[in-house]
Amino acid sequence: MRNSAGEVVGFAKVTRDLTQSAQLQRQTEELRAERGRLLVAKNDAEEARRVALDAANHDALTGLLNRRGLQSWIAAQPQLVATLLCLDIDGFKAVNDRGGHAAGDAVLQRVARILRRAARDGDECVRMGGDEFLVVLAGVSETEIALRIAARITAAVGALLPLGATDDTRIGVSIGIGRFAGASSFGQALQDADEQLYEPQERTSSAGSSASVDQRQR
């Protein structure tokens, strides 16, 4: 501070209380940290939900869709036109009886891999339960295509040696075929394919393990 002559006669100091500003900064940082924690918790919860849903819709042994997953997949495509291949492993009981459940589980996993290789992009493979499987050939209405895929599956399963090359146990597969146009007719198509599936099994049960495809269409 200067007088009229320009001489220094004192000093003035301006101060500002930063307490409130520091508190606001600290609160802002705390809010950011809390937001980060909530975001991590949200992502963890979403991942846990996704994993749980995936587990609920897939067979734990083979990784294929299960019945619940199949229902969800069909429901999401109400206009889907497809052909069903309903499969049952012939001679599977002998594998369990002679090789134990571990051998039976291995057969189911190998059959699942065969189905995946036989299926095309857009198709879906399902383990319905036990030794029953389903392949949904999306967009297929031609009998010839379904029969070609069924024949490949039959040949591949028939070539398996479930208990090793030194054991004479063999397996086969019976296949029933059904077609549907729209999700509302899926149940009837599945019933048709299932009925066809068991007819050839009954005819061949007295001859032991077999691989057969019922070519009748409904």
Active-site amino acid positions: 131
First to last CA, the chain: 107
Instruction: Report CA-CA distances (Å) from 197 to 2, 40, 104, 154, 211.
Output: 109, 50, 21, 13, 11
Burial class of 214 by CB neighbour count within 10 A (0 to 12, 13 to 18, 19+): buried
Burial class of 198 by CB neighbour count within 10 A (0 to 12, 13 to 18, 19+): middle
Backbone angles phi, psi at 48, to 5 degrees: -65, -40
51's tokens: 């994993």
